[in-house]
Chains A and B, each alone.
Chain A
Amino acid sequence: DQQVKQNSPSLSVQEGRISILNCDYTNSMFDYFLWYKKYPAEGPTFLISISSIKDKNEDGRFTVFLNKSAKHLSLHIVPSQPGDSAVYFCAAGEMNRDDKIIFGKGTRLHILP
């Protein structure tokens, strides 16, 4: 049972355009959501997070939107740059629990020149 789903295994976006990566979750107890970025041969790096008390969080070119009623979050990258080509993992957990978070399978983003 996949609690965190990234239904698009890959996505290609023209440089300069907006990249939108989507993520759905099933566990209504999740109240903390994160995005990680992973380059080949490197470990994932934290990108941006959002708690369930907010519906949007921005950090530079990256914005995460949370729709709690739909159990859906998305990561927007504007404008997309060649260095954004990577695998993006969505993750979810419970803020008041010091234990594991659940990761999605990842979406490979390819920025086209």
Chain B
Amino acid sequence: EAGVTQSPTHLIKTRGQQATLRCSPISGHTSVYWYQQALGLGLQFLLWYDEGEERNRGNFPPRFSGRQFPNYSSELNVNALELEDSALYLCASSPGRGTPGNTEAFFGQGTRLTVV
């Protein structure tokens, strides 16, 4: 069974551009979570989608946005990129409404975004 898949694995953008990151959850999972892992900051919660709706977001500016599609895959969009947005962006999925930390939450390998 395929795990959580993220694309692309690496993305290089220039400051001011937009980046789109994609995540496909494990089949049957309806919740998708996005995290940012920036150097020295650990994993920081970005967004949580469940059943196509945004359920919660972390302390990030509005230029971080996303959506969840009917097939439960998700996109993370980062507009007006800044150098500080360079980080590893991780997606996780779980079967339904619940914390991302339960035993049924799985992470993808991440997308490394570099802003130059």
Contacts and interface: CB of A to CB of B under 8 A. Distances in A.
Interface string B95-116: 0011111110111111000000
Interface of A: 4, 6, 32, 34, 36, 41-46, 49, 89, 91, 93, 95, 97-106
Counting chain B residues whose Cβ lies within 8 A of the other chain, the interface size class is: 20 to 34
B4 A43 contact: yes
Contacts of B100: 100-101
Contacts of A49: 101-103
Interface string B26-58: 000000000100001111110010000001101
B4 to A, nearest CB: 7
A38 to B, nearest CB: 8
Contact of B42 (A32, A41, A93, A104): A104
